[in-house]
Structure 1
Amino acid sequence: MPRSLDHIALVVRDPVRTAQLFSKVFDDARIEHGADDGDGDHDTQVQLGGVCLVLVRGTPPATRNGDHIAFAMGKAEQLACAERLRAAGIECLMARGDSALYFEDYDNHVFELDVVEGG
C-alpha cells in the first residue's frame, strides 16, 4: 500500500521558467536543480507545501482539461498569492464564493488555492 505522495511530475517547455513562477507566487517554494541525467536534461524540482513538483522538459498538454492540483491555505495567503500572480502577469479566477483561486502555469497546468477553515 502507498504510504504517501512522493512527487507530481509535470511536463513543461521550460522547467526553470516554471520553477521561477512558483517561487514568485509562493513564499515557501524551494527550487532544486539536479545534475544532468546524461541526456542533457536536468531535473528541476519545486518543494511546495510538502509536495515535490518535478518539472520535466518536454511538450506540455496542448489544452487544459479538468485535471488540477489543489493546495490548501488560509485566506490571507490566498489573497497574497493572487496579488503575486497578477504582478507576474498571470490571470487568476476566484470561484466557489471566493474560497478557491484558480490559475494556470505557462503550459496549461491548472492549480487551485483552496481556503481551509481556520486559515
Structure 2
Amino acid sequence: MHLITTAALFIVTAIAEIVGCYLPYLWLNRQGSPWLLVPAAASLALFAWLLTLHPAASGRVYAAYGGVYVITALVWLRVVDQVKLTAYDWVGAGVALTGMLIIVSGWRAPAV
C-alpha cells in the first residue's frame, strides 16, 4: 500500500509541476494570455508543497520523484502534445520506473 500511495502522490506532484511549466510556455510561445501565469504559479506552489508530504529525506524523495516525472512527462507528450512515443521512450520510462521502485523500497531500510 505504501508504494501505491507514494506513486500516486508522485504522479499528482508531476502533473502539478508540468502544468506549472506548460502554462508559461503557452503564454510565451503560443501568444497565450499573461493571466496563465496565475494558475501556473499556483500549480508550482502546489508542486512544492506536495513534495513535502513524503516521509523520506528530501534528496531521496527528489531522486525517486524523478523516475515518476519521466513517465508522467512522456504521457503528457503523448496525450497533450500528441507525439507518438518511440521504443526508446518506453525503455527509458521502464528504467526510470525501476530506479524509482528501488529507491522507494529502501526508504524504510536501515542506512548502510
What's the TM-score bracket when you normalise by the shorter of the two chains?
Answer: under 0.3
**Normalised by the size of structure 1, how large is the TM-score?**
0.27
Normalising to structure 2: TM-score of the pair?
Answer: 0.28
Higher strand residue share: 1
